[in-house]
Structure 1
Amino acid sequence: MINVTNLSKFYGAKRALGPVSFQIEDGEAVGFLGLNGAGKTTALRMLACDLRPSSGSISVDGVDAVADPHQVKQRIGFLPEAPPLYPDMTVIDYLRFAAELRGMRKADHARRIPDVLERLQLTDVAADVIGTLSHGYRQRVGVAQAIVHEPKLLILDEPTRGLDPVQIIEMRETIRQLKESHTVLISSHILSEISQTCDRLLILGRGEILGRGTEDELTATQLDVKQVVAMVRAPDDGRDVAGVLGKIPGVTDVAEPRTMHGTLTYVIDCDQDVRAAVGRALVGAGLDLLRLDSVHSELEQTFLRLVGEGGHASN
């Protein structure tokens, strides 16, 4: 669906983005995650043909976005960070206007616009003036104008910015529904919003892609220090369980055990996956092994490790 190669943007001598390369498959929901100023909006505006790249190539649905931006725009629905709303227009008139801008025939308006109003829960306010609506409703109108022409690709820049908690939940559910019929690309600096709505993440910082993959892939590949938790039944003879664990190759530290109900729980630091070796060593020493788990890094820790403190570029 999207193929980006060596894409970059400079403002004079200042680099805002790139070079970055990535692919997005048809039907995927992919999140651009990064601190404010990481380059997310710059990337999305170039994908939406609102900003010309300094170098590199963008292909959307097989069409060269740099050479033929008009054709690409017919395939894209774009919700910028500040939706392009007209406060003096009614919701339905604005959607008709947006449909005409996208080249839709008036004969198709009667079919498509009621469907969009219902899908975004805007039917009851269709005749209301946009300027009288709450921020949450205005954001829905922004999404409605992005999908009115039935685009293949939907690009949403910070879609939950400024929404209250209830509105965020509603927008999250809207995005989940949109995933069923669109390829979706979302940007956000809020980790929880991206992780709950997207299949795959691209982490941006300093104008570069610092990490990419599913949540599990990111946390696995960025894990610097692995930990293993082992629970054994407390031995009656006072054997040195920590000593047994400390002799295992790859184990770097064994914390003092937590004692509870006749069991000992050890947190073991290691520089490789030692679960199998821990299991063999404990059972081989005649101990009753009750639990053996790995402890994985949370996505939040991975994100912070990747972007680093102050890892900003121009947005």
Structure 2
Amino acid sequence: MIQVKNLTRYYNSFCAVDGISLEIKKGEVLGLLGPNGAGKTTTLRMLTGFLKPSAGDIIVKDLLISEDALKIKSLMGYLPESAPLYHNMLVFDYLCYVAKVRGIPRDKIHLRLKELSSLCGLSGIMHKTVDELSKGLKQRVGLAHAMMTDPEILILDEPTSGLDPNQIAEIRAIIRRIGKEKTIIFSTHILSEAEATCDRIVIINRGKVVADDTTQNLKSRAAGSSCIDLSLYDADPEEAKKLIAAISPDIRVIEKEPEESDVVSFEIHSSSSRDIRRDLYKKIKETNWSIAQLTRDSQTLERIFQELTKGEESYRGGER
């Protein structure tokens, strides 16, 4: 349904999005993840036609955004991170105004508002001014705005940013309901949020795609790998890294900032579920170093996210 080919965006000399390519299927709920400043918002603004790409193409249902931007926009609903609401208007009046602007026939406005009120949980606040609402309720009003024309594609930029846990759960539930009928793309930097709602996760870092896979495959990858925290007394960092790396070809060693001046610390990532602590102990025992810490954590999606957004590695479809 949506094809993104080598999408690039510069702000002067700064490259915010660097050659991103994606294909998004009809009916898919896609989570665009990345740390703050990774290029998520810029990517979404280009997808909606708000920003013009410096290079690359966006194709939506065989329409090129460079040639048919208005047609493409008519297929989309967009909720930016801060919903653009008129705070002095009643919620009912505001949504009526949006309906008229978006071309909803007058005789159908009341029915559409009733449908959106039920879907987004607005029944009890239609008589209130937008300014009276909590941030979570304002997000719901913004979501109703984005859904007004019943678009095929819904693009949400950080829809749960700044919300409390209860409000986050409510917005997630709405997204899951909508996702049964529409193609949804939403950005977040909270991995658990994407895990709870998405069919597929794309992680970007420094403007590049570093992971693109189904939620289930990423979970499987997490379950089949591990991370060991190792701290040593009296060890030379470079010699220690060489010794650790020689244990197995499927491990990667990252030196960490030491908590004590006479300690060197490492994160040891393994793509295998095999526990290598016994091998580590035997190797270290042959030296004059002492172990300050040796602990093993099962790899989690959070760990994978941290690992991918620290470096330049990329991971696609189960292979890195």
TM-score by length of 1: 0.74
1:217 aligned residue:
217
- Asked if the contact 1:215/1:299 (under 8 Å) is kept, the reply is no
- Alpha carbons of 1:111 and 1:225: their partners in 2 closer, same or farther (altered >3 Å)? closer
Q: CA deviation at 1:18?
A: 1.6
- Asked if the contact 2:222/2:301 (under 8 Å) is kept, the reply is no
1:25 aligned residue:
25
- Asked if the contact 2:224/2:272 (under 8 Å) is kept, the reply is no
1:302 aligned residue:
304
1:59 aligned residue:
59
Q: CA deviation at 1:296?
A: 6.4
- Asked if the contact 2:31/2:194 (under 8 Å) is kept, the reply is yes
Q: CA deviation at 1:195?
A: 1.0
AA aligned to 2:117 is: L
Q: Higher relative contact order by CA 8 Å / sep ≥ 6: 1 or 2?
A: 1
Map Cα deviations across residues 220-275 of structure 1 (whole Å, 9 max, x no partner).
56899669xxxxxxxxxxxxxxxxxxxxx9999xxxxxxxxxxxxxxxx987688x
Following the alignment from structure 2 to structure 1, what is the Cα–Cα distance between the partners of residues 45 and 200? 20
AA aligned to 2:87 is: P
Give SS of 2:31's match.
strand
Q: Which runs of 5+ in 1 are unaligned?
A: 228-248, 253-268, 275-294
- Asked if the contact 1:200/1:212 (under 8 Å) is kept, the reply is yes
AA aligned to 1:178 is: I
Give SS of 2:121's match.
coil
Give SS of 2:124's match.
helix
1:180 aligned residue:
180
Larger Rg: 1 or 2?
1
- Asked if the contact 2:225/2:273 (under 8 Å) is kept, the reply is no
Following the alignment from structure 2 to structure 1, what is the Cα–Cα distance between the partners of residues 225 and 192? 24
Select between 37-46 and 87-96 the one with higher mean Cα deviation. 87-96
Map Cα deviations across residues 125-182 of structure 1 (whole Å, 9 max, x no partner).
1121111111111110010000011000011110111111111111111111111121
Following the alignment from structure 1 to structure 2, what is the Cα–Cα distance between the partners of residues 307 and 270? 17
Following the alignment from structure 1 to structure 2, what is the Cα–Cα distance between the partners of residues 171 and 48? 21
Q: Which runs of 5+ in 2 are unaligned?
A: 228-247, 252-268, 275-296, 314-320
1:205 aligned residue:
205
How many matched pairs? 255
Q: CA deviation at 1:217?
A: 2.4
- Asked if the contact 1:250/1:272 (under 8 Å) is kept, the reply is no
Q: CA deviation at 1:34?
A: 0.4
Q: CA deviation at 1:97?
A: 1.9
Following the alignment from structure 2 to structure 1, what is the Cα–Cα distance between the partners of residues 197 and 250? 37
Following the alignment from structure 1 to structure 2, what is the Cα–Cα distance between the partners of residues 7 and 215? 23
The answer to whether structure 1 residue 139 and structure 2 residue 139 are counterparts is: yes
* Percent identity over paired residues: 38
- Alpha carbons of 1:301 and 1:17: their partners in 2 closer, same or farther (altered >3 Å)? same
4+ aligned runs moved over 4 Å, structure 1 = 219-227, 249-252, 269-274
Select between 21-30 and 95-104 the one with higher mean Cα deviation. 95-104
Following the alignment from structure 2 to structure 1, what is the Cα–Cα distance between the partners of residues 224 and 165? 34
2:13 aligned residue:
13
Following the alignment from structure 1 to structure 2, what is the Cα–Cα distance between the partners of residues 186 and 155? 6
- Asked if the contact 2:225/2:298 (under 8 Å) is kept, the reply is no
- Asked if the contact 2:30/2:201 (under 8 Å) is kept, the reply is yes
Give SS of 2:33's match.
strand
1:279 aligned residue:
none
Give SS of 2:51's match.
coil
